[in-house]
Structure formats: C-alpha cells, structure tokens
Chains A and B, each alone.
Chain A
Amino acid sequence: MNEGPVIPDFGQAASCVAENRLFCPDWVRDNWGAVFQPALIEHVKLTVIAVAVGFVIAFAAALVAHRYGAAERPFAIFSAIVYTIPGIALFQLLVPFTGLSVLTVEVALVGYTLLILFRNVLEGLRAAPPEVLEAARGMGLTRRQTLLRVELPLALPAIVAGLRVATVSTIALATIAAFVIPEGLGQPIFSALRNYFKTEIITAGVLAILLAVTADLLLVLAQRLLTPWASARRLAT
C-alpha cells in the first residue's frame, strides 16, 4: 500500500480534500450523483437478484427434501461446501468460466445464499407440530393442501428469518464483489483504497452498513405483517 496519502486531482481541490481529512461533506455532496448513488443502486440490484434466485433454488430444494428425506444430505453438503469458500476466492475463481461480468458475481452470491435459505425453509416446514398435521389429516386435507394451508404458513417465520440473514450477508459479500467487477458499494471502497482517500472510504462503508440495516428492518416489518398470529402470541404470553 501507499506511503501516506496520495491526493487525487479533483481540479481545484477543497482544502478538506487536499488535506485528506476524515470526512468532507462537500465532496460527498458533489460526487453523490456520480459515485455513490449509482453504486448504491447497483448494490441493491445485485442483492435483490441474488436473493431472489437463491430463494427459488433453495425453496425448490427444500420442498423436495421435505417430501423425500434422502434429498436433504446431498444439497446440504453441496451448499455447505460452497459456503466455506472465502468470498474473494470464489469471485476470482469464477472469472475464467463466466468472465468479468455481473453473472460471475451473481453466481457466487446465489451460491452463498443457498445454505441459509435451504436450512431455514426446511426447518420451517418441519416445524409443524404433529398434532396440527394430525388435525389436518383428520379434516381430510390432501398432502398438497396440508403443505399450502398448514405447513407453509407455519414455516413463514423461519423462512423470513432465513431471508433476513441471506439478504444481509449478500449485501456484505456484494461489497467484496467489487474486487472483480466495478459495481456496488465496494467499488468506491476499493478505488479509494488505492489513494487512501478517507472521505470516500468512510462514506461507502457507512452506506453499505445503512443499506444492510435498512434491509434487515424492512424484512422484520414484512415478517410482522405476514405473520400477525406470531405477534399476537407474543402479546399473549
């Protein structure tokens, strides 16, 4: 890394930028539209696509594993192996196959969501108490009806909990993705690292944290709205 800060040439740099002080609000305001806003939008896109695709795959796999128990182990092992690969390594390793593209990043991000989503969906589906399943059978519900009307609603809290963890960790991993393709909030971090420009590093870092915390809060809200009975129970006890 550099010996001391090398100040980038921004024309007539404000003294704050020239001295590389901790945080220069003016610079952030001037560069919001060119640097931070696009990075933020890209970051949201990367995350939404990865979690959505990961969810579809993991959900399907969990349904299969719920029906045929033998299918659980292979998928669990596969997703666990993917999960242990360090992020920076996986992003780079995929480049020879999918190029320096968004696809590379998405494949890796999807891979990392699988373990969490698969486990939570499956555990949620299995959480239905035997009495409840018994009652469903007694009411003459078919297997499909039991799944749709009993098991899935009961699995919702676990599913949303999984989505929360997956979303938040995808936001984190997507910052690292910028090491491979210049997209998302990691991009200003990596580019500012080169010249140790504090304002840009800190702003991008704070934005990434705010994005993750906001996404987490939104999903909690969604969880409350989707499962009103859960909060009713919380109040009852």
Chain B
Amino acid sequence: MSTFIDALQFIVDRRELLLDKTWEHLLLSGAAIGLALVLAVPLGVVLGHLHRGSFVAINLANVGRALPSLAVIAIGLGFLGFGFTNVLVALVVLAVPPILTNAYVAVDEVEPEAVEAARGMGMTPWQILRRVELPLALPLLFAGIRTAAVYVVASATLAAIAGGGGLGEILFNQASYRVEGLVGAAIVVSALAFAADLLFGGIQRLLTPRGLRTTVPAFEPDVVPAGTAVVR
C-alpha cells in the first residue's frame, strides 16, 4: 500500500517529467492510431460493402493478432534503426489488423434485408453504404478501433527500447526512477488506455444516429476478447 502512496507522490512530484513523457506517448500513439484508421477503415468498409476479400480481411487479423509487439518493434529496429519512425511503423502494423477486420465484418454482416429494403427504396450503392450499412456497422467497427487504440497505447511503452520516447522510458528505467516511478508510470499508462477507450466510445456515440442509440458500453477491458470473438 505504501508503494502505491509513494507512486502517487511520484506522480505529483515529477509531474513535469510525466507530462513530458505522456505527451510523447500520446503523440506516438495518436499518430499510429490515426494512420491505421486512414489505412484500414476505408479498405475494410469497401471490402465489406462489396462482400469481397473475406479471406484476406479475416486471416490478416488472425496473423496480425499473433504479432508480438516487441518482435515487430525489433524487426522495425533492424530495418529502420532507432527513433520515432520505426516505432510508428511498428505500432501501425499492430493497429491495422483489428481495425480492418472489424470494419470488414461489421459492414459485411449488416442484415441483407436492410440492404435489400434500401435498394428497393431506390438508394444508390453509395447511399446504401452511407445511410444504412455504416450506421448499422458502427458498434462492431468501433469495437475494433477501441481494441486497437488500447493495444497501441499499451504497446507504445515498448517504444522506449527503440528510442521512440514515451512513458516506457520510465518503466524501463527502474534504476533511476525506483519502484514508485515504475508504479506511477504504470498508473498513467493504464489511465491513458482507459481514456483512449472512453474517447473512441464517445466518438462512437456521437456518430450513431439517434434512432440507433442504445447505451454504448462503458469501458470494460473485454474490448480485446470482444473484438476477437467476432472472428473465431
């Protein structure tokens, strides 16, 4: 218990250091999640809309989920050397599979009746995608994004071994920051993962049309198993 209090003390005393490292951490995670979103969401949504490429979309996720983050960062290190870019690339590689697969499955599994009805109403494919498929796909799509976001924020701690900065620099340096620093930084990382999940949960709520709005599930770290239960 006293360790915990010391850790809180560390957070208060060393807030400038922590703010600095948190900023680096957020910059890195944010860039990685942003890039992964730009790459994976359109591709997954379009493939799901066309009901094409299930083999690639689903197997990519299985392989992607199997990628140990340290191994990916290590390989990136071999090719790209130390620094921000290597870690960014590695984190994007880790974030793309859950987002892509969930986007694909979410759109692919929209009830055919709903799509049929929309087509019967004379909607163009683009209108069907925008007004029927996407709104119905949102929960699953966001489950993937939230999984990826939590995963990226947690994995970004490993950036420190590759010169990518962030809160991992404290976690990997117990010699300097002692146990209280370790626990303090761990608390901050957990809080960031929690916040990332809340953030995307909030965006999900905003994007969901009022008629479809039920309660968006609050943070339960089961986002990871839930996202994976989709692709058995």
Contacts and interface: CB of A to CB of B under 8 A. Distances in A.
A213 B157 CA distance: 23
A49 to B, nearest CB: 18
A202 B75 contact: yes
A172 B69 contact: yes
Interface stretch (A60-68, A98-106, A114-122): A114-122
Interface in B42-81: 62-63, 65-72, 74-75, 77-79
B190 A161 contact: no
B77 A201 contact: yes
B224 interface: yes
Nearest to B170: A89
Interface string A36-72: 0000000000000000000000000000000000000
A123 B68 CA distance: 26
B137 interface: no
A150 interface: no
Nearest to B224: A116
Interface stretch (B128-136, B181-189, B205-213): B181-189
B72 A205 contact: yes
Contacts of B70: 172, 175-176, 186, 189, 205, 208
Contacts of A208: 68, 70-71
Contact of B75 (A165, A179, A201): A201
Interface stretch (A27-35, A78-86, A137-145): A78-86
Interface of B: 62-63, 65-72, 74-75, 77-79, 82, 154, 157-158, 161, 163, 168, 171-172, 174, 179, 182-183, 185-186, 189-190, 193-194, 220-222, 224-225, 228-229, 232
B67 A209 contact: yes
* Main SS at interface, chain B: helix
Contact of B193 (A84, A89, A123, A215): A84
Contacts of B182: 89, 92-93
* Main SS at interface, chain A: helix
Contacts of B185: 89
A205 to B, nearest CB: 4
A80 B222 contact: yes
Given A80-B221, A88-B168, A213-B66, A189 B78 contact: no
A87 B185 CA distance: 12
B78 A202 contact: yes
A204 B171 CA distance: 23
A204 B71 contact: yes
A6 to B, nearest CB: 13
A157 interface: yes
B74 A204 contact: yes
B229 A168 contact: no
Contact of B232 (A115, A161, A185, A212): A161
Contact of B228 (A92, A161, A198): A161
Nearest to A160: B232
A1 interface: yes
Contacts of B154: 86-87
Given A116-B224, A201-B75, A202-B75, A161 B229 contact: yes
A1 B190 CA distance: 26
A201 B158 CA distance: 15
Nearest to B171: A88
A165 B225 contact: yes
Nearest to B67: A209
A206 interface: yes
B63 A213 contact: yes
Contact of A165 (B65, B69, B74, B78): B65
A193 interface: yes
Nearest to A43: B68
A171 interface: yes
11 contacts: A1-B82, A84-B190, A86-B154, A96-B179, A158-B229, A168-B65, A172-B68, A193-B74, A193-B77, A201-B77, A206-B75
Given A80-B222, A208-B68, A209-B66, A202 B74 contact: yes
Contacts of A205: 70-72, 74-75, 78
